[in-house]
Structure 1
Amino acid sequence: MVVSASSFHYFDDLDAALAEIKRVLKADGKLVILDWCRDYSLCQICDIMLKVFDPADPAYRQCYSQAEFHHLLASAGFNICRATKVRFGLIWGLMVVTASR
């Protein structure tokens, strides 16, 4: 099992990261990713603010909508087993995806 919790938005090279995750997973292994979800207002604002006000931050890249996230995983050859979004209050939210090779 590979778990990525609140870190996917920091990955510099998504294709390389997903390829490495796929490489280390056993055939019946699972990938679980929990990250910000740009489908929610505060996540959109944070995404914009971090890019505008801290462009020199070498770590932060971007957060993704659930549809973008699913597309990235499918393009990397993962099968999505389960996906959900969790809303905290009116404007903040996370997404959780479980995928297999």
Structure 2
Amino acid sequence: MTIADPVVAEYSKAAERYDEKWAFYLEATTRETLRRMPMGPAARVLDVGCGTGELLRRLRAKYPDAALAGLDPVAEMLDVAREKLSGREDLRIGYADSLPWPAASFDVLVSCNMFHYITHPVEALKEMARVIRPGGALVLTDWCDDYLACRLCNLYLRLTNRAFYKTYREAECFSLLRRAGFSAVRLERYKISWLWGLM
């Protein structure tokens, strides 16, 4: 199991009001992630750590013929996702290090705001690579520890939040991706507010 059980405990309670509580953050991170996704009209896309399905909802609106799938360990978050989606999405409970799909199932694998919960990142990245078709793409969005505010949040959350694992600097993330077998790696740092620095 890649994401520790405290994540399930925390987000099962937060699911009902998650979208409302994090509205600005969700809008900004999903918008920036979508801008970086190489999408075709009928792309096969997996969202790992899909949560309440906000990224999938926006993908469905823009690409009605896409084959969309989502994975999350929290049943309550997936319940919220099902309420907002079309019913054609393949939503499953699971963890990033054991994806319940065959090899080369997806053109694009995306993960937004989830990587800081993964306790064995190289293993999870290798599993993500397994389900991406040759020539496909992995698009990750997460907090970037190169920004001071994120570094302070990282230190605080590692001390106080059992669900949280770690955020990474750009160089660390590059190394993890290369160790997992990704050869063409492009990283981009950017801010969505004075606090949140992403890559």
Same fold (TM over 0.5): yes
Mean CA deviation greater in 77-86 or 66-75:
77-86
Scaled by the length of structure 1, the TM-score of the pair is 0.82
Scaled by the length of structure 2, the TM-score of the pair is 0.44
What is residue 71 of structure 1 aligned with on the other side? 175
Structure number with greater Rg is 2
What is residue 37 of structure 1 aligned with on the other side? 144
Question: How far apart in 2 are the matches of 1:62 and 1:81?
Answer: 21
Q: How many residues align?
A: 92
What does 1:1-101 align with in structure 2 at a 5 Å threshold?
A: 1-54=108-161, 57=162, 59-95=163-199
The C-alpha deviation readout for 1:56-86, integer Å capped at 9, x for no partner, is x1x3110000000001001111023432100
- Following TM superposition, where does structure 1 have runs of at least 4 consecutive aligned residues deviating by more than 6 angstroms? none
Percent identity between matched residues is: 38
Q: Point out the structure with the larger helix share.
A: 2
Contact 2:122–2:177 (Cα < 8 Å) also in 1: no
Show structure 2 runs of 5+ residues with no match: 1-107
| RMSD over aligned Cα atoms | 1.4
Show structure 1 runs of 5+ residues with no match: 96-101
Q: Point out the structure with the larger strand share.
A: 1
3-state SS, counterpart of residue 178 of structure 2: helix
